[in-house]
Chain A
Amino acid sequence: MAPSGWTQGNIRNGLRMIIRARGAGVWENYMSEQNSESMSRRSLLNMIGTVAGSAVMYHAMTEMGYAGESGYTGPIKLSPPPPGTSVLILGAGIAGMVAAMELRDAGYKVQVLEYNGRAGGRNWSLYGGDTYTELGGFTQKVGFAPGHYLNPGPWRLPYHHYGILSYAKRLNVALEPFTQVNYNAYLHSTESYGGKPQRYRTIQADFQGHVAELLAKSTRQKALDGAVTKEDQEILLAALRNWGALDANYNYAKGLVSSNRRGFDSDPGGGLNSVPIPSQPLALSELLKSRLWASISSGQGYEFQSSIFQPVGGMGMIGKAFGKELGNLIKYNCKVIDIHQDAKGVTATYIDSRTGGAPQKASGDWCVCTIPASILSQIPMNVGAPMKNAIDQLPYEAALKIGLQFKRRFWEEDEQIYGGITFTNQPNAMLGYPNYKYFTKGPGVILASYTFGPNAFIAAAKPPEDRIKDALDYGQKIHPQYKKEYDCGAAVAWHRVPWTLGCAGQWTDERRAKHYNNLCAMDGRIVLAGEHASRIPAWQEGAVTSALDAIGRLHKRVMTA
């Protein structure tokens, strides 16, 4: 047997027990694979995760010294550099500001140039009173009430994104829960159930219940005899009854048991007329054809599993806090037009991003460049062909976000939806309800569209007011109160954002294999950082871990120079 080492042996024994206990019946296949090939540690962990679940995988990871490997291992510790060593940082987004803060604290002389008049980059919230002008000159004046906002960029902080969370904590940014899955929100398709939105709760319960019933039937009809032992079949049946809310006969049927998952026609109450009235499960065939099941796993992705968080007052609070911390180390409204390195240092030439004017220069012994590749590909910079090619092969994706403010929180008052997400097959893809100011009497801002791909391209080609008009039409099909209660909105199509030309680096497996290492590797005195130089694309954690990795390597170079 090829694999060696006690850890893999131990894990394999544990895995065998788990698989047998679960009756998964894949042990033999797994072993036959193992007999002639060794497997990597990560492959083994994937296997464990697939068959045994994440909790078991976590234990296995701990055994193998793998747990917590998010790329973030706690605050970076840099020894003091030679006095006077300077680093020029381009971009005051999350990556640039992480680099600036840590290098400053280590004793470097740092200066940050930023295109915008604010800190944060894509860490950004739009508030009432803000004016946003996209490419083409289309200007929006945001009319949201105080305390309400749209996060055009990131809006969620997974609990395992240790890096960004730790900076939020260090900078005293208050966090609150973000609700990804709301059982009382809707799954909606214009093609099923007459276009009537269904509660997530009923689709989830009914799909799970029907699947459990079918599997129980197969088990009892001996269809699984080859795959599951007799003893395990007993356990499996008990599990299916529990998991699927089946009745004593292993049927998913109308009754108190199933209604306790999917909801009642009339809830139990107190006093007279308090008898609960069960509801009728949806028929399997129609449920399958509805395709609404496609969204019930939305909260099961690693990044969306509870608990996840958002900053109180908008995602932009993190960027603001960084900006305050760095103070006048950041020079705003600087449009970089040239980056040049020589044997002694790096010089960026820039003009005022608002007024143009005479070019100015800023220099450092070293440079951390976090300018998005979409922009950087257009700025003359003397780096070698490998890095240059990598930058030139990384366009940014289309994405659209629209925030609509409504005069009252009808989704809460009329439909008991408190935060979370409704999914729809319409081009807006989803409605994200505000996870703040619950139960208040005033207005609320719904994320009325969040989409990528063709729908986002199409929206970018329209003026902002037309994007909002479309979003109102889509939302009206889910909430009849929508147009009556609409107050004002803001729409951000990322290809028209002047300082990114898209939302995030559009990597493919092929391009990553060819260019990723070249993008990340230091070229002379220049190192790149940002979500685009990470394997967590489009997430702020990618920006943080990329920046820490970049300055760690830069520091090593400084200390050995």
Chain B
Amino acid sequence: MKTVFLSLAALLLLTAGASAQEVRAGSFPQQSGEEIFKGVCQGCHMPDAKGATGAGAYPALASNPHLQVAGYPVGVVLHGQKAMPWFSDYFSDEQVANVVNYVRTNFGNHYTDKVTPADVKAQR
């Protein structure tokens, strides 16, 4: 009974928010690590992965010792951190694994152990 009523209220909210939600929904077509970095990540972390500074800053991914343990960047991509939005809604396990592997082996990073989609799934 209460459920029925709540569902009515929920419907009302959904209707009101539909236009905003629709434009926010979706996914990224980029699949390879390089495509994802160049198509998405470099918006903030910049094409050279050296980050940028204004009133606040985007950290450099280039030569970044925090990337040593692969679980860390996986967690940050999935769940966000401070100014970094979460991407768990947008990226598949494969996409997260691909971009983390790309960044960990480029821009002066040489961490050769690979992240698998299963590793990503475990951190969701």
Chain A residues in the interface with B (C-beta under 8 A): 29, 32-33, 36-37, 39, 43, 46-47, 49-50, 115, 135-136, 294, 297-298, 301-302, 335-336, 353, 371, 374-375, 377-379, 392, 395-398, 429, 451-455, 457-461, 493, 495-502, 506
| Residue pair B23, A452 in contact (C-beta under 8 Å) | yes
Q: Is B44 interfacial (CB 8 A cutoff)?
A: yes
Known: A453-B26, A498-B54. 8 other contacts (CB 8 A): A47-B9, A298-B19, A353-B55, A374-B56, A397-B85, A454-B26, A455-B26, A500-B55
| Residue pair A496, B24 in contact (C-beta under 8 Å) | no
Given contact pairs A43-B5, A50-B12, A378-B82, A452 touches B43 in the complex (Cβ within 8 A): no
Given contact pairs A135-B58, A335-B55, A33 touches B82 in the complex (Cβ within 8 A): no
Offer 30 A-B interface pairs, CB within 8 angstroms, sorted by A: A29-B4, A33-B1, A294-B22, A297-B18, A335-B55, A353-B55, A374-B82, A375-B83, A377-B83, A379-B56, A395-B80, A395-B85, A396-B83, A396-B85, A397-B85, A398-B85, A451-B23, A452-B23, A453-B24, A454-B28, A454-B40, A454-B90, A455-B26, A458-B39, A460-B43, A495-B43, A500-B55, A501-B54, A501-B56, A502-B83
**Nearest chain B CB to A42's CB is how many angstroms away?**
9
Chain B residues in the interface with A (C-beta under 8 A): 1-2, 4-5, 8-9, 11-12, 16, 18-20, 22-28, 38-44, 46-47, 52-58, 80-86, 90
**Nearest chain A CB to B78's CB is how many angstroms away?**
13
By a CB distance below 8 angstroms, the chain A residues around B8 are 46-47, 50
**Nearest chain A CB to B41's CB is how many angstroms away?**
7
Closest to A423 in B: B19
By a CB distance below 8 angstroms, the chain B residues around A371 are 55
Closest to A508 in B: B86
| Residue pair A136, B52 in contact (C-beta under 8 Å) | yes
| Residue pair A33, B55 in contact (C-beta under 8 Å) | no
| Residue pair A501, B44 in contact (C-beta under 8 Å) | yes
| Residue pair B23, A375 in contact (C-beta under 8 Å) | no
**Nearest chain A CB to B42's CB is how many angstroms away?**
5
| Residue pair B55, A375 in contact (C-beta under 8 Å) | yes
Given contact pairs A39-B5, A378-B82, A501 touches B40 in the complex (Cβ within 8 A): no
Given contact pairs A43-B9, A301-B19, A498-B54, A461 touches B2 in the complex (Cβ within 8 A): no
Partner of A499 from B18, B41, B52, B55 at Cβ < 8 Å: B55
A502→B19 CA distance, assembly (Å): 20
By a CB distance below 8 angstroms, the chain A residues around B44 are 135, 460, 495-496, 501
Closest to A429 in B: B23
A495→B43 CA distance, assembly (Å): 7
A424→B81 CA distance, assembly (Å): 33
Given contact pairs A46-B12, A50-B12, A453-B24, A37 touches B56 in the complex (Cβ within 8 A): no
By a CB distance below 8 angstroms, the chain B residues around A336 are 55
| Residue pair A454, B84 in contact (C-beta under 8 Å) | no
Closest to A463 in B: B47
